[in-house]
Amino acid sequence: MATEGTYYVPAQSKWPIIASIGLFLTLLGAGMMMNDMSAGVKNSSAHYVFYAGGLIMAWMLFGWFGNVIQESRAGLYSAQMDRTFRWGMFWFIFSEIMFFAALFGTLFYVRVLAVPWLAGEGEGAMTHEMLWPDFAASWPLMVNPDNDLFVGAADVVDPFHLPLLNTLLLVASSITLTLAHHALRANERYKIKLWLILTLVLGTAFLFFQVEEYIEAYNELGLTLSAGIYGSTFFLLTGFHGAHVTLGAIMLAVMLVRVYQGHFEADNHFAFEAASWYWHFVDVVWVGLFIFVYLI
Amino acid sequence: MTSVTDTASSLDQEHHHGPAKGLMRWVLTTNHKDIGSMYLWFSFVMFLTGGAMAMIIRAELFQPGLQIVEPAFFNQMTTMHGLIMVFGAVMPAFVGLANWMIPMMIGAPDMAMPRMNNWSFWILPFAAVMLVSTLFMEGGGPNFGWTFYAPLSTDYSPPSTTFFIFAIHMLGVSSIMGAINIIATILNLRAPGMTMMKMPLFVWTWLITAYLLIAVMPVLAGAVTMMLMDIHFGTSFFNAGGGGDPVLFQHIFWFFGHPEVYIMILPSFGIVSAIIPAFARKHLFGYTSMVYATASIAFLSFIVWAHHMFTVGIPLIGELFFMYATMLIAVPTGVKVFNWVTTMFRGSMTFETPMLFSTAFVVLFTIGGFSGLMLSIAPADFQYHDTYFVVAHFHYVLVPGAIFAIFAACYYWLPKWTGHMYDEPLAKVHFWMSFIGMNLTFFPMHFVGLAGMPRRIPDYALQFANFNEISSVGGFMFGTTQLLFLFIVIKCIRSGAKAEAKPWEGAEGLEWSVPSPAPYHTFTTPPDVK
């Protein structure tokens, strides 16, 4: 490790501009795909732009993180740099917390205020009398105010079926990950691999059952994106959570590869810690989801 | 993993002391000064672009009736003017100033994450291209106002809205990464002895601004994501027919939006808190109270959002809570204004251009603050809402607030950046033309607003004609004057008297301890701060 007082300032890098082009193409392609889909365009070539952007992003991530790993292993990073990474990851997770706060806020607002108001609660709101006098509030909302435009779901997701299983899987994965971390600190390489692989298996199983749940929701419950606000909030919250589990699992998979490569020391392994912070964050979000989306 | 890395440049630890040559210097750079300059130039290009749209608006409003543009295009102009000025001009200008100045002010060798810093910048031109290109798409660009309320922005929006949404996503990614970088730099890269309570106020205000950015940009991302899903995937977040609520959009938007307006003013507070002491030749009065006032304003910004929604139909208890909470903001803001005035009191003041802009800032921002106080009174707001009074209010806090502070900062630090003094007489012309032009534009808007002229319309009743004419003349004056600013800056870069390391007699801070122009790398070994 370099000494305190010399902070590593990297030389020029090509990755930021490549990342910008990749991000631009990915989002441009996604926008074109969505517009073509909504306009009913056949033979759209928009997905090529999207895939090109995605490939550039993947290449960039490999290259950029590769650079950082190499610099780290070359001993260019001081303890001060380590604190920079910690602050960076901490504030990144804080931004993610605020993103989910907006989504949870939406759920609470709809459940506590909007739906009761639509059913005539509160003062001065005439929507109920003027537009939908027959509408009655309930949660989950099965019959929407305009139930022809937004056909409500036939049934509710049973929290004690797949969601409970998924809760157990994810909580267990947090425990196994912590065990992997303990093993890393004790420098027991075999145990790190064991617990990390188990964590990944649990995470993947979670994602598998999540997909299973979506299939059941669409095929058996009539719970779709267009099933009104219940379906909207359900898929928004669980969907973005699932995307974050996927990202966390990719991070952990990279960590596993790095463990096999012989990376990480007992007292110097922030990449591993960052991935594990992220995984625990995703786990805590799930507990919130299980309570507020499924249970009550 | 290690097999797919690019080792050529990054492992090369050699400190090269000068910048690389050619265009690629700017594309590949990791230097905070290069990146700061790019942010500032990008911001100026966007300022002129958004300004050109304002000129179209003022030209159309010069007379009652429709003469120059179609109403549909007028709506696109007001929308894009707002979006470009907020996300393209003001925010990047402050990030540019932060990039240039914060490392030099705290004795850091660079920003904490130099490569990510470059990415934060380079996202912006791509996002701007995506945003502006919507104007040329079928159905036209965004036409629902910069606040993009649902259902105007969902059910009734043009197809280009999809790209508007993704442009906002890109701008958000850039802002969050920029803010994380600034926080990490301030918390972790201060020179030994530079304690938190010794930091210049520009650094303090940016620390708090960065916190606000990380807290609310994700909320904006959530809002536009729900819009995107309502438009393309059949959800009903903002559609009452499915049990959602269009008002929900306004809540989420303004939970982002109100901290956002403080994001655009807090760094200004830091700038004038550096400039006024320098030209009054006194220390800043009440440093500690300035820090606490900034933090209080930031805290309050999270609990006042619904004052933008007094007329939408929120419960009485909500109207009362948000009214009183909003009025509370006047307290810490008053602390600041009195501190600046007290700093000037019995100082030996001179009025070079940075001081002119800063003094105008204090006076005119206070006018904007007072009209804000008027708007915070819920029953009165029922009269003012959606009139030109609101337009007058927020332009008084944004133009002589944010923009004047940015001008002041540019003139104050140009000698440090370029090594040359700017042309003082020309700069004074720039100030007075801007000052007169800006007041001519926006002061009459108070009157037409109170008399009932609605905002966001291309045509208006005859009795508003005279005041609108004055506004338009002022607008053209303010707009053309900014070309003079461009000339002054270019002239300063290319020529001008040589600047000393500390060109301003009363200036304080580490940035004046390095030569002018500042060397490409400063403080590679941290200075000792006493």
Domains plus CATH for chain B? 29-140+152-239 (1.20.210.10), 265-522 (1.20.210.10)
Ramachandran category for residue B401: left, alpha or beta (phi over 0 → left; psi -120 to 50 → alpha):
alpha
pLDDT at residue A17, as a whole number: 97
Question: Above 90 in pLDDT, residue A181?
Answer: yes
**Residue B245 and residue A62: Cβ atoms within 8 Å?**
no
* Average per-residue pLDDT for chain A: 94
Torsion on CA atoms B117, B122, B123, B124, rounded to nearest 10: 110
Residue with tokens 């660079």: B110
Reported as a single tens digit per residue, the pLDDT across B200-246 is 999 999 999 999 999 999 999 999 999 999 999 999 999 999 999 99
Which of A18-22, A197-201, B3-7, B492-496 has the weakest average pLDDT? B3-7
| Domain residue spans of chain A | 1-77, 78-295
Q: What is the mean pLDDT of residues B263-286?
A: 97
User: What are the tokens at B39?
Assistant: 């942010």
CB burial of residue B23 (10 Å; 0-12, 13-18, 19+): exposed
| 3 state SS of B420 | strand
Reported as a single tens digit per residue, the pLDDT across A64-122 is 999 999 999 999 999 999 999 999 999 999 999 999 999 999 999 999 999 999 999 88
Q: Using CA atoms, how far apart are residues A51 and A55, in angstroms rounded to an integer? A: 6
Q: Are B97 and B89 in contact (CB under 8 A)?
A: no
Q: Is the dihedral of CA B369, B371, B375, B376 positive or negative?
A: positive
* For B527, nearest residue in chain A (alpha carbons): A5
Encode A66-77: b = buried (16+ Cβ within 10 Å), e = exposed.
bbbbbbbeeebb
Residues of A whose CB is below 8 A from B38: none
Helical pair B266-280 and B287-301, crossing angle rounded to 10 deg: 160
* Residues in CB range of B515: below 8 A, 6 or more apart: B419, B501
Q: Is the dihedral of CA B217, B223, B227, B233 positive or negative?
A: positive
Q: Are B359 and B407 in contact (CB under 8 A)?
A: no
**Confidence class for position A18, pLDDT limits 50, 70, 90:** very high
Residue type, B396: Y
CB burial of residue A124 (10 Å; 0-12, 13-18, 19+): exposed
**Residue B188 and residue A83: Cβ atoms within 8 Å?**
yes
Q: Using CA atoms, how far apart are residues B466 and B450, in angstroms rounded to an integer? A: 15
Question: Above 90 in pLDDT, residue B413?
Answer: yes
* For A96, nearest residue in chain B (alpha carbons): B218
**Residue B214 and residue A229: Cβ atoms within 8 Å?**
no
The answer to whether the bond into B517 is cis (omega within 30° of 0) is yes
Question: Above 90 in pLDDT, residue B435?
Answer: yes
**Confidence class for position B21, pLDDT limits 50, 70, 90:** confident
Q: What is the mean pLDDT of residues B494-498?
A: 95
Question: Above 50 in pLDDT, residue A4?
Answer: no
Reported as a single tens digit per residue, the pLDDT across A219-256 is 999 999 999 999 999 999 999 999 999 999 999 999 99
**Confidence class for position A42, pLDDT limits 50, 70, 90:** confident
pLDDT at residue A5, as a whole number: 54
| 3 state SS of A156 | coil
* Residues in CB range of B366: below 8 A, 6 or more apart: B337
Residues of B whose CB is below 8 A from A101: 218-219
What DSSP string runs through B478-521? HHHHHHHHHHHHHHHHH-SSBPPSS-STT--SGGGGS-SSPPSS
ipTM: 0.96
- Class in CATH terms, A78-295: mainly alpha
| 3 state SS of B441 | helix
Q: Are A261 and B2 in contact (CB under 8 A)?
A: yes
* For A58, nearest residue in chain B (alpha carbons): B4
Question: Is pLDDT larger for residue B2 or for residue B378?
Answer: B378
Q: Using CA atoms, how far apart are residues B396 and A217, in angstroms rounded to an integer? A: 52
Secondary structure in 3-state letters for B209-257: HHHHHHHHHHHHHHHHHHHHHHHHCCCCCCCHHHCCCHHHHHHHHHHHH
The percentage of residues in chain B with a pLDDT greater than 90, rounded to a whole number, is 94
Ramachandran category for residue A129: left, alpha or beta (phi over 0 → left; psi -120 to 50 → alpha):
alpha
Q: Using CA atoms, how far apart are residues B485 and B44, in angstroms rounded to an integer? A: 10
Cβ–Cβ contacts within 10 Å for residue B136, how many?
Answer: 9
Q: Using CA atoms, how far apart are residues A181 and A187, in angstroms rounded to an integer? A: 10
User: A17: closest CA among B175, B15, B30, B12?
Assistant: B30
Q: Using CA atoms, how far apart are residues B290 and A150, in angstroms rounded to an integer? A: 53
Angle B316-B317-B320 from CA coordinates, rounded to 5°? 90
Question: Above 60 in pLDDT, residue A1?
Answer: no
Residues in chain A: 296
**Residue A12 and residue B20: Cβ atoms within 8 Å?**
yes
Cβ–Cβ contacts within 10 Å for residue A166, how many?
Answer: 25
Question: Above 50 in pLDDT, residue B6?
Answer: no
Residues of A whose CB is below 8 A from B225: 236
Interface test with A, best of B233, B303, B524 (most A CBs within 10 A): B233
User: What are the tokens at A116?
Assistant: 């009761």
Q: Are A230 and A157 in contact (CB under 8 A)?
A: no
Q: What is the mean pLDDT of residues B110-116?
A: 97
Q: Using CA atoms, how far apart are residues B32 and B34, in angstroms rounded to an integer? A: 6
Reported as a single tens digit per residue, the pLDDT across B127-145 is 999 999 999 999 999 999 9
* For B169, nearest residue in chain A (alpha carbons): A27
Interface test with B, best of A20, A78, A128, A272 (most B CBs within 10 A): A20
Q: Using CA atoms, how far apart are residues B438 and B458, in angstroms rounded to an integer? A: 21
User: What are the tokens at A281?
Assistant: 């964050």
Q: Using CA atoms, how far apart are residues A126 and B330, in angstroms rounded to an integer? A: 36
Question: Above 90 in pLDDT, residue B99?
Answer: yes
Shortest Cα distance, chain A CAs vs residue B147, angstroms: 17
Secondary structure in 3-state letters for A245-280: HHHHHHHHHHHHHHHHCCCCECCECHHHHHHHHHHH
**Confidence class for position A124, pLDDT limits 50, 70, 90:** low
Q: What is the mean pLDDT of residues A6-33?
A: 95
- Of the partner residues B122, B165, B240, the one whose CB lies closest to the CB of residue A16: B122
Please measure the distance between the N-terminal and C-terminal CA atoms of chain A and give it in whole angstroms.
51
**Confidence class for position B8, pLDDT limits 50, 70, 90:** very low
| DSSP character at residue B529 | P
- Of the partner residues A88, A110, A225, the one whose CB lies closest to the CB of residue B113: A88
Q: What is the mean pLDDT of residues B456-471?
A: 96
**Residue B245 and residue A114: Cβ atoms within 8 Å?**
yes
